[in-house]
């Protein structure tokens, strides 16, 4: 199955609750009226685009329909697709290049698929010819260290770890030294995700950041926030909290294949203006894909 077909299949639940509902609204309707715009806004909100984003999209749709002299309700669907692409942008964002050694810090609450994402990202980098070191910086949970080792073995990446409860910054320091000694191209750092101890989390992340920047000027070169698409609008709240703590440079949205809430991608981009860099469209090691907004819109509306 081709990449586009896999993406289209992964968005089937979102498409059913979003685009197919739009189709049912406009089918058989003779004219565009305020009632139709209100119903479209409701569909957007229920697809987890977010209330503010839904309102803005419908306001822009009104304007665009007037400019284009649209009279047939069926004309609204391609116009909405055009507006969604305006929000998402047409550009795909690649990972930052740190030069001799690129450091990627991965953050997110427990349960979003963070460690799994790191394993798939390591595989992705390996496929591109990179030598990768994984740093087991989530020392709060022994299971996180064990899980990272399993994914490291699958991806063919060395894992640097300490005992449970160790200082995460010390793990990161050792990972940088190992990467230098082994002439690695990238270090991917796992971190704890304990939002209920938000101040501790922030201090821990800041300490890791200080160690990285001291060892490698400009590091971390990338701070990827992993979000679970099935949580819908809650994902945007998590993005705000982690954005304040770490200066997130990109988002990885996981579990798109298991949710009807894929519209949250649109809400994230408009509310926070943080690019979505990768999406998870399945459980396989190859199912972490660079996010292409144009392909996403095509797959959603196809």
pLDDT, tens digit, 9 for 90 and up, residues 81-115: 999 999 999 888 889 998 999 999 999 888 888 99
Cα 127 to Cα 118: distance, rounded to the nearest angstrom? 14
Q: In this structure, is residue 128 part of a structural domain? A: yes
Note the pLDDT of residue 236.
Answer: 83
Cα→Cα distances 294→34, 54, 208, 276, 299, Å? 29, 20, 36, 13, 9
Nearest Cα to 206, choosing from 242, 164, 178?
242
Note the pLDDT of residue 197.
Answer: 54
- Considering the domain architecture, whether residues 261 and 159 belong to the same structural domain is answered as yes
Enter the tokens of residue 15: 């498409």
Put the strands of the sheet holding 288-290 in their side by side order: 158-160, 132-136, 186-190, 102-107, 222-228, 250-254, 276-280, 288-290
pTM score of the predicted model = 0.91
- Considering the domain architecture, whether residues 51 and 189 belong to the same structural domain is answered as no
For residue 14, the domain's CATH number is 1.20.120.140
Cα 230 to Cα 251: distance, rounded to the nearest angstrom? 15
Cα 274 to Cα 127: distance, rounded to the nearest angstrom? 26
Q: Each residue of 192-207: pLDDT tens digit?
A: 876 655 677 778 888 9
Note the pLDDT of residue 32.
Answer: 94
Enter the tokens of residue 144: 């996180």
Enter the tokens of residue 178: 């190992």
- Considering the domain architecture, whether residues 188 and 60 belong to the same structural domain is answered as no
Q: Each residue of 226-277: pLDDT tens digit?
A: 999 888 888 888 888 787 777 899 999 998 887 778 888 898 888 888 889 9
Q: In this structure, is residue 300 part of a structural domain? A: no
Helical segments of the chain, H only? 3-10, 12-17, 19-26, 34-46, 51-67, 76-88, 114-127, 142-155, 168-181, 198-215, 233-246, 264-272, 293-301
More confident residue, 271 or 222: 222
Note the pLDDT of residue 291.
Answer: 93
- Considering the domain architecture, whether residues 35 and 112 belong to the same structural domain is answered as no
- Considering the domain architecture, whether residues 72 and 106 belong to the same structural domain is answered as no
Give the domain-ending residue among 55, 88, 121: 88
> For the ranges 7-21, 138-152, 202-216, which has the lowest average pLDDT?
7-21
Give the domain extent around 40.
3-88
Percentage with pLDDT > 70 across the chain: 97
- Considering the domain architecture, whether residues 174 and 57 belong to the same structural domain is answered as no
């Amino acid at each position: 199955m081709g990449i586009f077909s896999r993406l289209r299949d992964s968005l089937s639940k979102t498409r059913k609750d979003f685009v197919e509902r739009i189709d049912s609204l406009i089918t058989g309707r003779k004219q565009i009226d305020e009632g139709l715009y209100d119903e479209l806004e409701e569909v957007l909100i229920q697809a987890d685009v977010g209330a503010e984003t839904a309102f803005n999209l419908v306001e822009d749709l009104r304007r665009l329909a007037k400019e284009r002299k649209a009279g047939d309700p069926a004309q609204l669907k391609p116009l909405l697709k055009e507006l969604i692409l305006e929000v998402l942008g047409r550009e795909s964002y690649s990972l930052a290049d740190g030069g001799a050694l690129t450091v990627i810090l991965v953050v997110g609450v427990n349960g979003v698929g963070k460690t799994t994402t790191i394993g798939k990202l390591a595989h992705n980098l390996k496929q591109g010819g990179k030598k990768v070191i994984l740093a087991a910086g989530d020392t709060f949970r022994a299971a996180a260290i064990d899980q990272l080792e399993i994914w490291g073995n699958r991806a063919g990446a060395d894992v640097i770890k300490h005992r449970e409860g160790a200082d995460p910054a010390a793990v990161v320091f050792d990972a940088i030294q190992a990467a230098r000694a082994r002439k690695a191209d990238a270090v991917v750092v796992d971190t704890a995700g304990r939002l209920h101890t938000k101040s501790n989390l922030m201090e821990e992340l800041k300490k890791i950041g200080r160690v990285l920047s001291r060892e490698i000027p400009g590091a971390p070169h990338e701070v990827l926030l992993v979000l679970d698409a099935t949580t819908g609008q809650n994902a945007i709240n998590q993005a705000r909290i982690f954005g304040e703590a770490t200066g997130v440079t990109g988002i990885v949205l996981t579990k798109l294949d298991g949710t009807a809430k894929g519209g949250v991608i649109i809400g994230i981009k408009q509310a926070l203006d943080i690019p979505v860099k990768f999406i998870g469209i399945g459980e396989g090691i190859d199912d972490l894909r660079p996010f292409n907004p144009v392909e996403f819109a095509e797959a959603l509306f196809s």
